[in-house]
Amino acid sequence: MLKKCLLGSLLVVVSLPAGAFEVKPGLWETTVTIEGEAPPEVQQGTYIEHQCITAEEARDFKPTIRQHFSEEGFQEIDISDDTDTLEVKASKFTPDLNVDIAISSTRHSDKHFSTRTHVTNVDTMTSSQESHWVSEDC
């Protein structure tokens, strides 16, 4: 369960543009660095991921973020954004697992944004992402 929650959250984080925080649709390359106490099933260190962001998501990613966290069982989901920043806080409380996630993303341009994520349960895992637009074609 923790694996699904953490991996799913990281995938959403990789593609975080939202609302006024608009970016170009298309193929994005993200360099992800995982720090701290991650479970063994979460890839450690630094790696690169590619993600296709649709035009709809590039204009307003809030519905996708909210849907993802709801499907993962998070009861409290708070999303706020403006032109250059996006903040997401989500909490999940179950008999087996309590998780708090805090995400902060900064838009440097419509072709570049960076994200910092803190996932806290028994341990704390932090990830940093640098995302760059690659092309219009996915």
- Over the chain, what is the mean pLDDT? 84
Output the pLDDT for position 7: 46
Beta bridge partners, 125, equal: 36, 119
* Residues 126/116, Cβ–Cβ less than 8 Å: yes
Give the residue carrying structure tokens 């590619």.
50
Query: Which domain covers residue 22, as residue numbers?
Result: 2-135
The domain total for the chain is: 1
Does the pLDDT at position 136 exceed 90? yes
Does the pLDDT at position 133 exceed 70? yes
C-alpha gyration radius of the chain: 14
Separation CA 93–CA 91 (nearest Å): 7
- Average pLDDT on 93-116 reads 93
Q: Is 4 helix (H, G, I), strand (E, B) or coil?
A: helix
| Tens of pLDDT, residues 108-123 | 999 999 999 999 987 8
Give the residue carrying structure tokens 């910092």.
116
What percent of the chain stands above pLDDT 70?
86
Q: With 0-12 CB in 10 A as exposed, 13-18 as middle and 19+ as buried, what is 111?
A: middle
Output the pLDDT for position 18: 41
Confidence band (pLDDT; 50, 70, 90) for 9? low
- Average pLDDT on 5-29 reads 63
Q: Residue 17 — φ and ψ, nearest 5°? A: -55, 145
- Average pLDDT on 90-95 reads 93
CA dihedral 31, 112, 2, 89 (to 10 degrees): 150
